[in-house]
Amino acid sequence: MRPALWLLAASALVAGCGGGDRLSGEDLPRAPAALNLSSPAFINNSRLPQRYTCDGAGDEPPVQAGTVPPSTSELLLVVSDPDAPGGRYVHVTRYGISRRGDGSVDHGGHEGLNSAGKEGWTPPCPPKGDDAHRYVWSVYALRRPSGLDAGAKPDEVAAALQDAGVLAAGTLTARYRRA
């Protein structure tokens, strides 16, 4: 592993995130190429519509990764809240997503455990009175399969990401504050 990537991997593992979760768009490795993430539900750095939160239906917003490198083995998604009380909160991890689909990362593949200890999506639900929290969708195009089974813990996803060789990455951020 290149020294810069090794340093990033080591710092991600040492830094930790609330509840033992070490996954966030800010902590995970950088990539040599960029993915252009987008969503028809929100614009980057805008307010997340209530429908996608605990104050609404709690649906997972659709997100697309755009064009991925041809040598991509799989896509890996992490959605986290770096502003959560007590540290980062992982809302969903998804891996084993085919690059051959429509570019959607909000379905397909396997789902890991989130910070609530459940598989799948947990909608944003910041404490009332908090400033707006940032919700970061991070998508990684992997050179090698992650090798993860459904139900992997966030720390296992972080470790697999470090080992799978990141070809490209992108982030998309939404903000939400409860009234």
- The CATH number assigned to the domain holding 58 equals 3.90.280.10
User: Is 150 within 8 Å of 39 (Cβ atoms)?
Assistant: no
User: What is the average pLDDT across 81-89?
Assistant: 95
For the chain, give the mean pLDDT.
86
- Looking at residue 2, what is its pLDDT? 36
Q: Which residue has the higher pLDDT, 59 or 13?
A: 59
pLDDT band at 173 (very low <50, low <70, confident <90, very high): very high
Whether the pLDDT of residue 41 is over 70: the answer is yes
Q: Is the pLDDT of residue 5 over 50?
A: no
Model confidence at 32, pLDDT cuts 50, 70, 90, reads: confident
Q: Which residues pair with 89 in a beta bridge?
A: 81
| Average pLDDT of the residues in 129-150 | 96
> Could you tell me how far CA 141 lies from the centroid of its own chain?
12
What is the SS3 string spanning the chain?
A: CCHHHHHHHHHHHHHCCHHHCCCCCCCCCCCCEECCCECCCCCCCEECCHHHCCCCCCCCCCCECCCCCCCCCEEEEEEEECCCCCCCEEEEEEEEECCCCCCECCCCCEECECCCCCECCCCCCCCCCCCCEEEEEEEEEECCCCCCCCCCCHHHHHHHHHHCCEEEEEEEEEEECCC
Domain span at residue 67 reads 3-176
| Mean predicted confidence (pLDDT) in 148-164 | 94
- Mean pLDDT for the stretch of residues 43-60: 98
At 29, the pLDDT band (50, 70, 90 cuts) reads low
Distance CA 19, CA 49 (A): 27
Q: How many domains does the chain contain in total?
A: 1
Q: Is the pLDDT of residue 19 over 80?
A: no
**Which has more confidence, 92 or 7?**
92
Tell me the two tokens of residue 58: 């709690």
